[in-house]
Amino acid sequence: MLNVVLAALVLFLSAGLVAYLLQLLFSAASFPLGGWLERYRFGRHLSRARRCDALVQQGQTDLALRCLRNAFYLHPVSERALATAVANHHTGLLSRLISMTSDWHNGSVRLLSLAKTDRLLTERSELQRRFLAARQSARKQNARSLRSQLRSNSRELAAAVEQLVAEARAVRKTAQYH
């Protein structure tokens, strides 16, 4: 009877030790894999922006606007360098959109959603900066709260970008009829 109890205890302790070691291994591997996944995902958004440029050159503006809308990277990142690259990417996307609509209206165009989108992108950059700082510190609850705020910002930003692209399409349509 004592042997069975000792065997069960040893089995329970060894299972706990194996689970702990697997958790350590997984957490050690998830950091590099997570960074790789973020860079891969961001690379796909960069290729969408390049495809947008090619479509504009071919004169396929409706497809270009759709690609531009899908090129916005609305996921939280875990590396400071990638956060900077994402912010620069978003600036480039807004610049493309302004350039496209400006060309359609000979240099003068008003996109009402542009200011809102720009404000949300600036807010996102600040949230991302604070999120990265919170992940480095011991305040994990603060990081969770900031991740939630980033998700909320992503939803608002997606809606603002959708509205901005719709306004650009409307500008394109009025330019075609004049």
Token pair of 104 as six digits? 């359609």
Cβ partners under 8 Å of residue 18, min gap 6: none
Provide the number of structural domains found in the chain: 1
Alpha helices in the chain, H assignment, sequence order:
2-58, 61-70, 80-104, 113-136, 140-177
Q: What local confidence, expressed as pLDDT, does residue 36 receive?
A: 82
Q: What local confidence, expressed as pLDDT, does residue 15 receive?
A: 83
* 28-66 pLDDT, tens digit each: 554 555 578 889 999 999 999 999 999 989 989 889 999
Whole-model pTM? Answer: 0.74
Contact 35, 127 (CB under 8 A): no
Q: What local confidence, expressed as pLDDT, does residue 29 receive?
A: 53
Range of the domain at 123: 2-177
Low-confidence ranges of the chain (pLDDT < 50): 30, 178
